[in-house]
Amino acid sequence: MVAMPKILEILQKDHEQHDLLLSILEKQVKDAHLRGEPDYDVVSEIVDYFLTYPAEFHHVREDQIYEKILARDPQAAEEIGQIEEEHKACEAFIKAFAGALASVLGTGIVTRSQFANAALEFIESQRRHIRMEESIFFPTALRVLKQEDWRDLDDHLSDRADPIFGSQREAQFETLRQEILDWQSAREPANDRFPAGQEMSV
The mean of the pLDDT values for the chain is 88
Taking 90 as the threshold, does the pLDDT of residue 12 lie above it? Answer: yes
Selection from 156, 144, 139, 119 nearest residue 30 by Cα? 119
pLDDT at 2: 63
Residues 6 or more apart whose Cβ sits within 8 Å of residue 50: 18, 21, 94, 122, 126
- Mean of pLDDT values over 95-113: 87
pLDDT at 109: 80
Selection from 26, 118, 17 nearest residue 58 by Cα? 17
pLDDT at 189: 59
pLDDT at 80: 92
pLDDT at 158: 81
- pTM tops 0.85: yes
Selection from 162, 166, 137 nearest residue 57 by Cα? 162
Residues 6 or more apart whose Cβ sits within 8 Å of residue 6: 154, 157
Residue 196 banded pLDDT, cuts 50, 70, 90: very low
Taking 90 as the threshold, does the pLDDT of residue 46 lie above it? Answer: yes
Taking 60 as the threshold, does the pLDDT of residue 147 lie above it? Answer: yes
Taking 90 as the threshold, does the pLDDT of residue 140 lie above it? Answer: yes
pLDDT at 191: 47
| Domain positions in the chain | 18-181
Residues 77, 136: contact at Cβ < 8 Å?
no
Name the CATH architecture for the domain at 18-181: Up-down Bundle (1.20)
Residues 134, 16: contact at Cβ < 8 Å?
no
**% of the chain with per-residue pLDDT over 90:** 66
The rounded Cα 177 to chain-centroid distance in angstroms is 15
